[in-house]
Each structure stands twice: as C-alpha cells, then as structure tokens.
Structure 1
Amino acid sequence: MADWKALETELALWRESGQQATLWWRDDDAERPSDALEQLIEISDRFHVPLALATIPAGAEASLAERVKQASAVSVLQHGFSHLSHVPPSERKCELGNHRPLAEITDELGKGQAKLAELFGDAFLPVLVPPWNRLGEQVIDALPGLGFTGLSTLGPRSCKQKRLIEVNVHADLINWKAGRCFAGEERSLAQIITHLQQRRLGEVDSSEPTGVMTHHLVHDEGVWAFLPQLFDLTLKAGAHWCTAKEIFS
C-alpha cells in the first residue's frame, strides 16, 4: 500500500534541516491541443504548479502555441525532432543516437529549435529533452553549438556537463511494460521519496530539483487522481515547484 505519510515525513526532514525541497514537472510528447492536455493544464492552473511541456517540433501545431499562451505557467522544451526511432528493432528505441550521421541529426535539431522558437516565443526554452531519454555523446557535445543551453533526461544528473544545464526527471508515473498504465502510487511515491532523500543526504547532487515525468496522452484515471494529491500534499508541506526558467537559467 502506498505511503503518503512517508512523503510527508521526508519533506518534514527537509524543513527540519533548514532547507526547502524543490521539485519540477515535465510532461512529454505534446504536439497539439487535446482533452488530455486540457486536463493537464487545468491541474497546473488549479495548483499553480508550473508545467514544462516537452514538445515534438515536427508535429507541433500553431493551435498548441495559442493554448500555451493562454495558460498561466507553461514553458516549452524541445522533444527531439520527430520522435522516430532510428535503431534496429532489437535495440532500445532512440532518435538521437549513433545510427545516423551527426550532421543529419544536428540539422533536424536546428530546424526544430527554430520552429518552436517561432511558434512559442518567450515560452520556449532551448532545452533538449531526447525522446526515450536517450542520446549519443556526440549529440550532447554538439548541443551548445546549436544554441541549446539545457538538457533533460532521466535519473540523477552527473557532474559531466560543463556547457549545458542538466536537470533531469526522477519519477516516471507510467509503467510502459505493463501496457502504458499508471505505475501505481507505491512505485511513484518511492521514486520521488528516494531522490529527495538522496539529495538531502548528499548522495546525489542536492541542488537538482526532483523531477516528475508524465505523458498526458496515455494517462489513465490513476495518473489523473495521483497528480492533484501529489501537488496538494507537497505544497502544504512547504515544497517549491520550480518553473523551467528557474532551473534552466
């Protein structure tokens, strides 16, 4: 059984240590308005929790830009280019790996960045979110030259990035192997608590906000019910949900 009390306890330990727990929210695979996106933005607005929308440039529509402009706290990050895998079926899916010429990849990323900047204006941040949270080292090395200032993948960040601001996500609310359904309260809370605890104890970079990753297009009722509970509890416990501009500047 999920233990929301354990999350309350962890946040209390942060307060007792004189620190404020920080978190951030990234949702992937946006291209156009939908009922699911509407529900996502409604939750963001209701709890005043900033939302970073990782948007696929190739499919991004002007109607999405219009909806984002109406929202109170939505930023846009770049989710690869087309979200297509370019690896053999036997390998883990990857768009930005080593199976294509680097020039082809950077050309796409540059075009994608220009399109999102034109569509979203100030709401767009030059932060790359690689599809499936994977990319090759040569692509990472090329990002600053393309004008990217940030990178977001999955797991506690390393100290390797010197020219990019890396802020990752640490809790995936979807269980992809079980049919793209809610991962469950127990697993989701455990991932959030683990990263918060590791930060507090200095086992990982304590300054990296704990990231929660969602995918609005595949949310079931479990995810929709979990998010308001999470936001309500963490806000009442004094945690701070960061904007993308805060953490990538």
Structure 2
Amino acid sequence: MEKGNFILNLYPSTKFMLPLFVTISIFFVPGYLYAYLMLPLCILIAFFAGKAKELVNLVVKGLLVLVLFIFIIQSVIAPGEEIFWSWGIISIKQEGVMRSLSLTSKIIAIASAFLLFFRITPVKDISQALERIGMSPKFSYAIIATFQFIPEISNRSKVIMEAQKSRGVETEGNLLTRAKAFIPVLGPLVLSSITSTEERAIALETRAFSAIGKKTSLNELTKRRIDYIIQVAMVILLTILLIGRIWLWN
C-alpha cells in the first residue's frame, strides 16, 4: 500500500465501486451533462491520488481521439430532419448531434472511470482481491499476465528498435520506411517473448505455484472500516438516483 495516500490505500473492491457506480448512474440520470462531468471528477480523484498526469495523458492521446471520431461519424450518418450544418453532400442534423452527445458522453464517463481504476489499482492487488473471493490463483495470474503483456511487448519492441538503429538500420522517416524497419524487429520480438514466457514459467514453478495448499503473499491487503463505509454510501447513492429516475425524471 501507498503510505499517506488515502485513495491508493483503499481496497481494490472499493476502488472498483467508482467505475461500477459511473456505469450504472449515467443510465439513471437523463441528459449528457452528468455523464460528461464524470471526466473532470475522475481527473480530480486522480489528482489527489497523484495520478492526474498519467490519466490525462491516456485521455488526451487515446480516448478523446476515439470519441471525436465517433462524434463526427454519428453526427453525419444519423437520420434526422432539422439540418444543423451542411457542405455538399455531407450534412449534420440536429438529431444526429444530440445522439452523438448522448453516446460520447457515456463512452467518456465509463472509459475515464475504468482508466482511473487501473491507474490507482495495481494489478497484483486486483489479483489478490480476486483470490480472496475464491478465484483460482491460476486464473488470477492469467489476468495479471494479460495486463502486463502489452506494456512488456511495447517496451521490448522499443529496445529492439533502438538496437537496430544503433546498427545503422533506418527506423525513422515516412510510413514505408518505418514499415520496412519494423519487419526485422518481428523475429527478435517473437523469440524474446517466447523466452520470457519460458523463464516466467520456470520462476513460477520454483515458487511452488502449482503446489496444492494455501498460498501466501508478501503483499497483504486489508479491508478497513472506511472501505465498508464508502461501498455502502455508493449503494445508497445509486438507490437514490434510481428512485429519482422512477419518480422525477420519467
């Protein structure tokens, strides 16, 4: 656990209540403003957790580009009668804009909440929390390996590209040049990945991973009183929003 940081020290299931709450609540509250407000809320939480820069980078580099693309496509292809803007055969209708706002707001809310969850929750904590509720250690390890696979492959490919560059291989330039430079990387990348998998399997067996019996861990998680309070509070808040949806917004 992170000493001195209240948010990072929360139990994984408590942290997971945030994306769960966001995913459910955006369908209870009508309109798109509430869903859009989930992004600054997540950034605020990430700021207090010391992860704001990482979250903003993920949102700007990946999420916003995807959302902007979906917004434009949905605005153009959605049917409607009242034209908001037109240019040649392309026309954006007011109904399409409203649908785009509704769809993209939900995507931003859910994606930002889950991005925040994985930024403030180490994968090893997720794995241990799953084991505590009865999940097989082998299955929980598969989850860890899945999350770690892409970053490891990315880092390994960068190292190989730098090695190729130091040998005089042209790795920068136009798209065709980069594609040609990437082909020699595939062989070492695949072989190093296979070697890494074998080494990991040997390391697991030396630590009695497949042995039958109760497993212990150096990383001990503790569910504190504040975790129960937060979980109950979020359930109560969701109930209030549901009642509001039924009695006020219908």
Give TM-score, length-normalised by structure 2.
0.25
Structure possessing the higher radius of gyration over alpha carbons:
2
More strand by share: 1
More helix by share: 2
